[in-house]
Chain A
Amino acid sequence: GNSVTQMEGPVTLSEEAFLTINCTYTATGYPSLFWYVQYPGEGLQLLLKATKADDKGSNKGFEATYRKETTSFHLEKGSVQVSDSAVYFCALRVPSGGSNYKLTFGKGTLLTVNP
């Protein structure tokens, strides 16, 4: 089956620190990979995505590269801000021959950035 493993939080950083949140996956087929962010009291927002090996997704200073050889999609940001404090979910979806709707999520990583 499909599964996503992401690093357990919480992660606490100081402003302007470098961020890495690890995400590895197991999938049958060739998944599309996503990072979603959930700010306190809000729904999920798509942060970035990649649909094939070696693709790099990027948005708002965040980046993640689809690494098929290591089955990974680690999230990075060079300099975090207090406003980046949120829960980050790694997710995958495997398009099948028919329709495959299901997103498989990791457990989420809580990031807290202190001034």
Chain B
Amino acid sequence: GAGVSQTPSNKVTEKGKYVELRCDPISGHTALYWYRQSLGQGPEFLIYFQGTGAADDSGLPNDRFFAVRPEGSVSTLKIQRTERGDSAVYLCASSLGWGNTEAFFGQGTRLTVV
């Protein structure tokens, strides 16, 4: 596609529920990143994929968070047993590869846990 696409744009869920957030990267981009942004803060790194594998998942806050990219394109961020503290904007980005390449971000998914 023309840009990074994230769905849904907004998600409201009840505490304790499971949610999935989807990211469609730019076609041909092998690197995909998930970030989380709280109000008034810069984005914080969660996980990075190179192809199908998670090359770096050091930013995932705990084991309730998991992400997959089974075919090396679309990625899904999964959050189990959601907590009110998980409320944030979840941003996805993609780039041609690692290193000296420009990252392009989607519009984000605003997650609200009530």
Do A and B pair up? The answer is no
